[in-house]
Amino acid sequence: MPQSAAARSERRAERSLGALSSLVLVLITAMCLFVLLKAWPSFSHNGPMWFGWGGNVDDQLAAIFNSPANPAKWDYTIRTWPILYATALLTIVSVGIGIVISTLAAVFIVEFAPPSVKRIVSPVVRLLAAVPSVIYGLIGILVLVPFVGNHLISEGRKGSVTFVVQLSGASLGVAVVILTLMITPIMIAIIADALRAVPNGWKEGALALGANRWRVMWTVVVRTARPAIVAAAVIAAARAIGEGIMLAMVSGSVGFAPNPLDGITFVFEPLRPYAATIVDNAEGLSVKPFGQTIYAMAAILLFASLMLSLGGTLAKRPLRKYGVRL
Partner 1 sequence: MSTSSRPDVVHRRGKDTVKSWPLADRIAYYACWAVGIGLCLVAASLILFMLNKGLQYVSLDLIFSNPAVGSDQSQTGGFLAPLLGTFILTLLGTIIAIPLGVGTAVWIVEYGRPARLARAVESGIEVVAGTPSIVLGIFGLLLFSNGIFAFMSFRALGGAVGGRSFLTAGVMMSFIALPLIFTSTREALQQVPAQVREASYALGKTKWSTIRKVLIPTARPGILTGTALGMGRIAGDTAIVVILLGATMQIEKVGSAPLVSTLRGSGSTLTSYVYNNSPAGEGNAPQKAYAAAFVLLLLVLALNFGIDLLSRRTKKEIV
Site for partner 1 in 16-45 (CB under 8 A): 17-18, 20-25, 27-28, 30-31, 34-35, 38
- Residue 184 burial (CB < 10 Å; 0-12/13-18/19+)? buried
Contacts of 183 (CB under 8 A, 6+ apart): 94, 95, 98, 236, 239, 240
What single-letter DSSP state applies at residue 110? I
What single-letter DSSP state applies at residue 323? T
Q: Is 235 in the site for partner 1 (CB under 8 A)?
A: yes
Measured from the CB atom, is 22 or 66 closer to partner 1? 22
Please list every residue from 121 through 180 that binds partner 1, using CB under 8 A.
121, 123-128, 130-135, 137-139, 141-143
H/E element holding 219? none
Q: Which of 109, 153, 174, 195 binds partner 1 (CB under 8 A)?
A: 109
Q: Is 273 in the site for partner 1 (CB under 8 A)?
A: no
Which has the closest alpha carbon to 262: 115, 114, 158, 145?
Answer: 158
Measured from the CB atom, is 258 or 273 closer to partner 1? 273
Point out which residues pair with 271 in neighbouring strands.
252
Orientation of helix 288-316 relative to helix 226-242, angle to 10°: 170
Which has the closest alpha carbon to 54: 81, 83, 20?
Answer: 81
Stretch that binds partner 1, among 6-14, 76-84, 197-205, 264-272 (CB under 8 A): 6-14
Least distance CB 163 / partner 1 (angstroms): 25
Measured from the CB atom, is 159 or 204 closer to partner 1? 204
Measured from the CB atom, is 20 or 261 closer to partner 1? 20
Measured from the CB atom, is 202 or 303 closer to partner 1? 303
Least distance CB 262 / partner 1 (angstroms): 25
Please list every residue from 187 through 226 that binds partner 1, using CB under 8 A.
212-215, 218
Q: With beta carbons less than 8 A apart as the criterion, state whether 93 and 175 touch.
A: no
Alpha-carbon distance of 207 to 311, in angstroms, equals 34
Contacts of 222 (CB under 8 A, 6+ apart): 103, 107, 195, 229
Which has the closest alpha carbon to 256: 273, 275, 232?
Answer: 273
Q: Is 320 in the site for partner 1 (CB under 8 A)?
A: no
Alpha-carbon distance of 174 to 165, in angstroms, equals 17
3-class state of residue 317 by DSSP? helix
Q: Which of 8, 9, 154, 223 binds partner 1 (CB under 8 A)?
A: 9
Print the binding letters for residues 46-85 with partner 1: x by CB under 8 A, - otherwise: ----------------------------------------
Stretch that binds partner 1, among 117-125, 152-160, 191-199, 264-272 (CB under 8 A): 117-125
Contacts of 316 (CB under 8 A, 6+ apart): 227, 228, 231, 326
Measured from the CB atom, is 49 or 197 closer to partner 1? 197
Q: Is 287 in the site for partner 1 (CB under 8 A)?
A: no
Stretch that binds partner 1, among 113-121, 153-161, 191-199, 258-266 (CB under 8 A): 113-121
Q: Is 275 in the site for partner 1 (CB under 8 A)?
A: yes
Least distance CB 195 / partner 1 (angstroms): 12
Q: Which of 8, 14, 204, 260 binds partner 1 (CB under 8 A)?
A: 14
Q: Which of 13, 62, 88, 164 binds partner 1 (CB under 8 A)?
A: 13
Phi, psi of 252 (to 5 degrees): 95, -20
